[in-house]
C-alpha cells in the first residue's frame, strides 16, 4: 500500500479513506517503537466513536499503547486475525496489520490529520 | 550513562540501547520474543557487565558473612556458590546476591547494579576491620551464556570444556593468558554459565561466542521474560527493603541456624505474615504490569502485581505479585485491574515454565 495517500495522527495511527469507510492501523514507526506485539484490544463492531476517543490498546512485551480514534464514526469491521496473530502489525503494519474499519461521520475530521510529509517531519523530531 | 566494555558490540548488532540502573544496555537486538525462544532452544549471550562484584577476604570471612547474608556461606565448599539475601535490621531485603567461595577465606559477592553502592556501604559498615572488602566491578566484565547448547558452544568457540561443573559450581580457565571464571549459574532456567573475565578480553570472548551459528545476542527484555517464566525475583520488583525473605517465598535461601541481621523479624513474620508472593496465570496474552492492583472475586483489593508479561514459552500472560496470605493458595481465582478492564488470573505453582534445562546432568 502506498503510504503517500494515507493520513496520519500525532499518536501514530494511519487512516485510509475508501469511499465513506476508513481503514485504520498504526504506522511502521509505531510498531517498531513498541517491539513484538503480543495483544491487540480492538473496538467492537457497532461502537460509535468520537475523534480522539481511546478505542483500544496495543501491547508489546515491554509496553502498552492506546489506540486513539482518528475520526468520528461507527466501527464497521475489525481485523479478527489479530487475535491469533498480533504480529501482523509488526510484519505488515500498513497491510494485513490493519486494526479496524469505521464509517466516517464527517469528512472534515480528516482535515485535522497529517499528510505523509507532515508525519515524517513529526517522527524526525521525536 | 555508563558503558560496559561490550557497548560497541551492541551498537554493531543494532541493539536498542536503554538506561538500566544508569548503564547503557540493549533491551533487545531484533525481537524480544525471538531472543527468548532462541535461548530456550539453543544458546544466547547476555552482557551483564553492569552487575557488581566484591571480593571479601580474611580470617573467618565465611562465618562473618553468615552474620550479614541469609544463607549459610561458611558451609560452602571452595569453588561453589549460593544465592542469598543481604538483610537490614527489619529483615528487609537490601539486595539479593550470589556468594562464591573462591578460596578458604576468600569470597566473591555478585550483586545488582542498582544496589551496588548500598551493598558496598552496608558491607563496609558491618565487616570488621580485619576483613578486606574490594570492589572489582570496574575491571570485571560478565557475559552470561545460557541455553541447552551452552556447553557445546563453550567448547567449540573458547575451547573450554566445563562439563565437569555441577549446578552452582565454578572453575577457572585460561583465555589468552588471562584467568576467566566460569560459573554454572544463570537467570533463565536453562543450562548455562556466567563468565567473569577481565575487561581486556571481554570483546574477544563475546565475538568468539557470537560467531557460533547457534548463538544469538540477547537483550534485557528477553532476560526479564526468561527469569519471570521460571519465577525468579528481580530486585526493585519482587524485592525491596520493605519485603522480607519469607514473604518473597525465599525461605530456602535463609539459614535460621545462623544469626544474621534481621533474623528475629523474619522469624516473627513467619508466625504472622502479612503478604505472600504468588505466581499468577492469566487467561490470555494480555499482560498485567508492575503496580496493577490485584482484586479478589468480590472486587476487594488484596495486593499488587510486581512483574508481568506475556510468557513466550507458554503462550499466555503471567505475573508475580504480593497478595494477602488468605489468597495465596494454588487455584485461588483473582482479578487484576489494568485500569480499563479486569484480567482474570489464577494462583499457580512456580515456576511457570517447568521444562528448563538448568539442572541437566552433563557427565555421568
Q: pLDDT band at B162, cuts 50/70/90?
A: very high
Question: Pick from B86, B71, B94: which is nearest to B251 by CA?
Answer: B71
Q: Where in chain B is the domain with CATH 3.30.1360.120?
A: 2-49+138-229
Q: Do residues B267 and B87 make contact, with C-beta atoms less than 8 angstroms apart? A: no
What is this model's ipTM? 0.88
Which 197-226 residues of chain B touch chain A by CB within 8 A? 221, 225
Q: Which residue of A lies nearest to B310 if distances are taken between CA atoms?
A: A61
What is the spatial distance between Cα B136 and Cα A68, in angstroms, rounded to a whole number? 50
pLDDT at B364 over 70: no
- Per-domain residue ranges of chain A: 3-124
DSSP-derived 3-state class of residue B66: helix
Q: Would an 8 Å CB–CB cutoff place B286 in contact with chain A?
A: yes
What is the spatial distance between Cα A80 and Cα A89, in angstroms, rounded to a whole number? 12
pLDDT at B48 over 90: yes
Terminal-to-terminal C-alpha distance of chain A? 25
| Subunit contact B32:A35, Cβ cutoff 8 A | yes
Tell me if the domain spanning B274-348 has CATH number 3.40.1190.20: no
pLDDT at B343 over 90: yes
Q: Do residues B224 and B234 make contact, with C-beta atoms less than 8 angstroms apart? A: yes
State the nearest Cα–Cα gap between A65 and chain B, in angstroms. Answer: 12
pLDDT at A125 over 90: no
Within A2-124, residue ranges assigned H as helices are 28-34, 81-84, 88-91, 116-124
What is the spatial distance between Cα B354 and Cα B311, in angstroms, rounded to a whole number? 12
Q: Would an 8 Å CB–CB cutoff place A59 in contact with chain B?
A: yes
- Grid coordinates belonging to A84: 491469533
pLDDT in tens, B278-320: 999 999 999 999 999 999 999 999 999 999 999 999 999 999 9
What is the spatial distance between Cα B92 and Cα B235, in angstroms, rounded to a whole number? 12
Q: Would an 8 Å CB–CB cutoff place A62 in contact with chain B?
A: yes
pLDDT at A2 over 90: no
Q: Summarize the confidence of residues B230-240 as an average pLDDT.
A: 98
Domain at A3-124, CATH from 2.40.50.100, 1.25.10.10, 3.40.50.2000, 1.10.150.310: 2.40.50.100
What is the spatial distance between Cα B79 and Cα B81, in angstroms, rounded to a whole number? 7
Peptide bond into B132 cis (omega under 30): no
Residues of B in contact with A61 (CB under 8 A): 32-33, 221, 225, 309-310, 312
Q: How many CB atoms sit inside 10 A of residue B169's CB?
A: 17
- Grid coordinates belonging to B93: 531485603
Q: Would an 8 Å CB–CB cutoff place B27 in contact with chain A?
A: yes
Which 67-106 residues of chain A touch chain B by CB within 8 A? 86
Q: Would an 8 Å CB–CB cutoff place B98 in contact with chain A?
A: no
Interface test with A, best of B30, B340, B343 (most A CBs within 10 A): B340
Question: Pick from B47, B49, B94: which is nearest to B70 by CA?
Answer: B94
What is the spatial distance between Cα B65 and Cα B78, in angstroms, rounded to a whole number? 15
What value does the mean pLDDT of chain B take? 97
Q: Summarize the confidence of residues B349-355 as an average pLDDT.
A: 98
Q: Which residue of B lies nearest to A58 if distances are taken between CA atoms?
A: B286
Query: Residue A126 has what pLDDT?
Result: 79
Q: pLDDT band at A1, cuts 50/70/90?
A: low
| Subunit contact A62:B289, Cβ cutoff 8 A | no
Among the partner-chain residues A36, A39, A64, the one whose CB lies closest to the CB of B284 is A39
Q: Which residue of A lies nearest to B36 if distances are taken between CA atoms?
A: A61
Q: Do residues B5 and B24 make contact, with C-beta atoms less than 8 angstroms apart? A: no
What is the spatial distance between Cα B265 and Cα B66, in angstroms, rounded to a whole number? 17
Angle, nearest 10°, between helix axes B199-210 and B150-158? 110
What is the spatial distance between Cα A16 and Cα A25, in angstroms, rounded to a whole number? 9
Quickly count helices (H) and strands (E) in chain B: 8, 20
CATH number of B2-49+138-229: 3.30.1360.120
Q: Would an 8 Å CB–CB cutoff place A41 in contact with chain B?
A: yes
| Subunit contact B340:A39, Cβ cutoff 8 A | no
What is the spatial distance between Cα B51 and Cα A78, in angstroms, rounded to a whole number? 46
Q: pLDDT band at A3, cuts 50/70/90?
A: confident
Q: Would an 8 Å CB–CB cutoff place A39 in contact with chain B?
A: yes
Bigger pLDDT: A1 or A124? A124
Amino acid at each position: 500500500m502506498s503510504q503517500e495517500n494515507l493520513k496520519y495522527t500525532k499518536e501514530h495511527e494511519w487512516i485510509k479513506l475508501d469511499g465513506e469507510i476508513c481503514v485504520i492501523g498504526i504506522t511502521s514507526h509505531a510498531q517498531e517503537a513498541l517491539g513484538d506485539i503480543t495483544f491487540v484490544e480492538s473496538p467492537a463492531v457497532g461502537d460509535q466513536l468520537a475523534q480522539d476517543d481511546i478505542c483500544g490498546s496495543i501491547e508489546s512485551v515491554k509496553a502498552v499503547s492506546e489506540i486513539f480514534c482518528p475520526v468520528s464514526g461507527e466501527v464497521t469491521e475489525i481485523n479478527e486475525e489479530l487475535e491469533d496473530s498480533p504480529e501482523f502489525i509488526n510484519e505488515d503494519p500498513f497491510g494485513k496489520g490493519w486494526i479496524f474499519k469505521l464509517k466516517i461521520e464527517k469528512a472534515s475530521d480528516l482535515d485535522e490529520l497529517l499528510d505523509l510529509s507532515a508525519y515524517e517531519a513529526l517522527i524526525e523530531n521525536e | 550513562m555508563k558503558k560496559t566494555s561490550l557497548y560497541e558490540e551492541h551498537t554493531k548488532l543494532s541493539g536498542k540501547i536503554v538506561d538500566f540502573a544508569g548503564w547503557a544496555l540493549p533491551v533487545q537486538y531484533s525481537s524480544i520474543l525471538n531472543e527468548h525462544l532462541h535461548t530456550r532452544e539453543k544458546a544466547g549471550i547476555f552482557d551483564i557487565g553492569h552487575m557488581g562484584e566484591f571480593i571479601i577476604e580474611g580470617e573467618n570471612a565465611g562465618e562473618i558473612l553468615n552474620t550479614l547474608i541469609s544463607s549459610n556461606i561458611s558451609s560452602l565448599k571452595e569453588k561453589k556458590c549460593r544465592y542469598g539475601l543481604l538483610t537490614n535490621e527489619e529483615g528487609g531485603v537490601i539486595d539479593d546476591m550470589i556468594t562464591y567461595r573462591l578460596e578458604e577465606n576468600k569470597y566473591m559477592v555478585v550483586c545488582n547494579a542498582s544496589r551496588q553502592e548500598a551493598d558496598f556501604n552496608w558491607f563496609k559498615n558491618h565487616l570488621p576491620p580485619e576483613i578486606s572488602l574490594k570492589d572489582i566491578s570496574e575491571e570485571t566484565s560478565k557475559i552470561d551464556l545460557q541455553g541447552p547448547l551452552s556447553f557445546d558452544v563453550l567448547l567449540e568457540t573458547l575451547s573450554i570444556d566445563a562439563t565437569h561443573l555441577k549446578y552452582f559450581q565454578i572453575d577457572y580457565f585460561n583465555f589468552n593468558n588471562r584467568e576467566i571464571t566460569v560459573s554454572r549459574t544463570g537467570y533463565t532456567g536453562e543450562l548455562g554459565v556466567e563468565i567473569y573475565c577481565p575487561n581486556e578480553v571481554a570483546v574477544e570472548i563475546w565475538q568468539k561466542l557470537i560467531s557460533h551459528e547457534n548463538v544469538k545476542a540477547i537483550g534485557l527484555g528477553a532476560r526479564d521474560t526468561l527469569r519471570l517464566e521460571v519465577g525468579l525475583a528481580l530486585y526493585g520488583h519482587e524485592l525491596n527493603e520493605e519485603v522480607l525473605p519469607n514473604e518473597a517465598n525465599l525461605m530456602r535461601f535463609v539459614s535460621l541456624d545462623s544469626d544474621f541481621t534481621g533474623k528475629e523479624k523474619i522469624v516473627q513474620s513467619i508466625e504472622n505474615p502479612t503478604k505472600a508472593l504468588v505466581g499468577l496465570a492469566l487467561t490470555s496474552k494480555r499482560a498485567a504490569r508492575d503496580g496493577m492492583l490485584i482484586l479478589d472475586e468480590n472486587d476487594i483489593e488484596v495486593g499488587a502485581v510486581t512483574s508481568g508479561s506475556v510468557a513466550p514459552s507458554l503462550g499466555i500472560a503471567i505475573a508475580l505479585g504480593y497478595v494477602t496470605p488468605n489468597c495465596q493458595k494454588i487455584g485461588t481465582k483473582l482479578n487484576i485491574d489494568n485500569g480499563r478492564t479486569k484480567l482474570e488470573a489464577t494462583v499457580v505453582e512456580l515456576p511457570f515454565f517447568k521444562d528448563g534445562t538448568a539442572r541437566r546432568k552433563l557427565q555421568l
